[in-house]
Chain A
Amino acid sequence: MSELLVALLVLPIVAAVLPPLLGLVWKRSGWPIATAALTVQAGLALALAARVVEEGVASHAVGGIAPPHGIELLADGLAVPFVVLIAVVSLGLLAYTRVAGPRSNPFYSLYLLLVAGLTGICLTADAFTLYVFLEISGLTAYALVARTPGGEAALAALKYLFLGTVGATFYLLGVGYVYVATGTLNMADIATHLSTAGHDSRLVIAAFAFMVLGVGIKVALVPLHTWLPGAHSKAPVAVSVVLSGLVTGVAAYADIRLVLTLFTPEFFDAVGVANDALLVAAAASVLYGGFSAVSETNVKRVLAYSTIAQVGISVLGIGVLTSTAMTGAVIHLVGHGVMKSGLFLGGGCLAARYGATTVEDYAGLAREEPVVAACFSVQALGMVGIPPTAGLPGKWFIALGAVEAGYWPVTALVFVSTFLSVAVFGPVLYRLYFHAPSERATTPQGEGRISFGMKAITVAATLATVALGFSAPYLGRLLAPALEVL
């Protein structure tokens, strides 16, 4: 049954080849193929989740060569929530893209490859294979940003490409250092050999610095975030959803993997400055992302800056290094993935019909589109952390873990970020509901329309946010075995 892990990677890659091939005889083959493949993918992900809940861990030796010499795929309680998140969000998003686009076959090829890359990051137990999957998801993400016609998106994509590639290459350099220090590439095997090399040896510290710096660019930790606002706001709506909801979250997952599985908490006991550095960068992200979001007027850029802040909160949870805070970090990443997807979808609906792109444009739209506005509002309240949405439990556990570990500034930052979120989304919601609609803003633009699928997925994302808020304890129980090392 461990073939399940391989199937989760092979299926989207094989399906990605089909749209261009079938495109020769069937012009619009991309959407049906992606829908079929991702439906199966979601089924496989849920089957894997059921298996991990039952047995704890599922692992597969690629090509029959046993680890540590061969490449190992591994799914534990930590990987599974992300695998399911990727499969479900990417499937649901197709309901939006059917009418709103992009509709071309190359888009769906890239989209499926991105799903494969992200799933691979979650499932690999090998440091070098992680680099390959980082680059697969990176390359497809650059190309997807450039699906918006025109020079601005291409420029944003190129900036993203430069920084993303430098990040991945720094990570690769770190893998080289680890390989020199330990002679192995399997993450668990590296962890056992690191103590022989000495956790505080210069080689190991340099390896940590390079790897976390590299992944930090992908996570968009301040000051490595400069690519994010442009890339996330210039991309087509569907791509913004994937970038903000999945790509940055999965990069943060890679960070958790490095901290927990590869370097292990013993490394942080030996080198205290390592997680201090992580905490400082995360704190900078929370503050910078929050304040920038407050001063932005373009809704997509507001959401992009808010992503920097929210992922920063999760990284705070990682840096605290207690199992409570780590649980919070994972719950917050998954919750943020769903909530931010919902916000981009709601905003995308309003932009498609009314051309509303700035906070000013949202005035009075609640009267025209009550359902979409209500969904947008629930997700916005989730960002603030109002129960019963998915925004509360993650922040709560991170703050609690920080108190347990005596990191009071972290607790304070979580509260500050909550107030900043109010300052960000308050004005938007106020305009939506209490401003008189202007003539221009409520006139439908062109032939843009909100299809049933677009509305349905926006509502579904809202329901998922509320459901996640209630199911946080289950998620915590699923995570517990994977976090025992703390």
Chain B
Amino acid sequence: MIDVLLARATYVAAFGLVALGLFVLVDDQNLLKKVFGLNVFQTGVFLFFISAGYRVGGAPPILAGDGPYVNPLPQVLMLTAIVVGVSVTAVALALIVRIHRAYGTVREDELREVLGDE
């Protein structure tokens, strides 16, 4: 069991990050920390893709030296996904600034008290 997990350490790490990120997103009352959780969750998925494209002994995918190369496609996909992730973070932070301006808090429990439960 341990051997299997060690041989796939990056996958274990990737899903560790996914679980950790989701937990923070659901559990933490601070809206800013929820955004951090969302980022960690997304990073876990990025790591999963990169791990899937890796091969043992693979060279960087620049067609100069001898192969075999690692798969460049997941890396390209994740560049796009990282850009999307940054945009999401930017929008989320902008919204949190507005919420803070309106209610003077970024904590969900305090917001619920102000607004009444909906």
A residues whose Cβ falls under 8 Å from a Cβ of B: 128, 131-132, 135, 139, 142-143, 146, 150-152, 154-155, 157-158, 161-162, 165-166, 168-169, 172-173, 176, 179-180, 185, 230
- A155 pairs with B99, CB closer than 8 A: yes
**What number of A-B contacts does a CB cutoff of 8 Å give?**
74
- Which residue of A has the minimal Cβ distance to B46? A172
- B48 pairs with A176, CB closer than 8 A: yes
Q: How far is the CB of A184 from chain B (nearest CB, A)?
A: 10
- A158 pairs with B87, CB closer than 8 A: no
- A146 pairs with B81, CB closer than 8 A: no
- Which residue of B has the minimal Cβ distance to A146? B95
- B87 pairs with A142, CB closer than 8 A: no
Which residues does chain A contribute within 8 Å of B99, judged by CB atoms?
A: 151, 154-155, 158
- A135 pairs with B88, CB closer than 8 A: yes
Which residues does chain B contribute within 8 Å of A230, judged by CB atoms?
A: 118
Since A135-B88, A143-B91, A185-B73 are in contact, a sample of 16 more A-B pairs with Cβ atoms closer than 8 Å, ordered by chain A residue number, is: A132-B80, A139-B87, A139-B91, A151-B99, A152-B115, A154-B95, A158-B92, A161-B88, A161-B92, A162-B25, A165-B42, A168-B84, A176-B45, A176-B52, A179-B49, A230-B118
Q: How far is the CB of A204 from chain B (nearest CB, A)?
A: 15
15 cross-chain CB contacts under 8 A: A128-B77, A131-B81, A154-B98, A155-B111, A158-B95, A161-B95, A162-B38, A166-B25, A166-B41, A168-B84, A172-B81, A176-B49, A179-B73, A180-B52, A230-B118
7 closest A-B pairs by beta carbon, nearest first, are: A151-B102, A154-B98, A158-B95, A135-B84, A154-B95, A154-B99, A180-B52
The answer for the CA separation of A135 and B111 in the assembled complex, in Å, is 27
The answer for the CA separation of A143 and B91 in the assembled complex, in Å, is 7
B82-100 interface code vs A (CB 8 A; 1 in, 0 out):
0010011001100110110
Q: Which of B6-28 contact A (CB under 8 A)?
A: 18, 22, 25
Which residues does chain B contribute within 8 Å of A151, judged by CB atoms?
A: 98-99, 101-103
Q: Which of B53-86 contact A (CB under 8 A)?
A: 73-74, 77, 80-81, 84
- B91 pairs with A142, CB closer than 8 A: yes
The answer for the CA separation of A132 and B83 in the assembled complex, in Å, is 10
The answer for the CA separation of A143 and B25 in the assembled complex, in Å, is 20
Most buried by A among B18, B49, B111: B49
Q: How far is the CB of B52 from chain A (nearest CB, A)?
A: 5
- A158 pairs with B96, CB closer than 8 A: yes
- B34 pairs with A166, CB closer than 8 A: no
Q: Pick the contact of B45 from A150, A162, A172 — CB < 8 Å? A: A172
Q: Pick the contact of B74 from A131, A142, A143, A179 — CB < 8 Å? A: A179
Q: How far is the CB of A9 from chain B (nearest CB, A)?
A: 16
- Which residue of B has the minimal Cβ distance to A157? B95
Given the interface pairs A139-B88, A162-B34, A169-B41, the reply to whether A146 lies near B98 with Cβ below 8 Å is yes
Q: How far is the CB of A106 from chain B (nearest CB, A)?
A: 12
Q: How far is the CB of A412 from chain B (nearest CB, A)?
A: 32
B102-118 interface code vs A (CB 8 A; 1 in, 0 out):
11000000010001001
Which residues does chain A contribute within 8 Å of B45, judged by CB atoms?
A: 169, 172-173, 176
- Which residue of A has the minimal Cβ distance to B100? A151
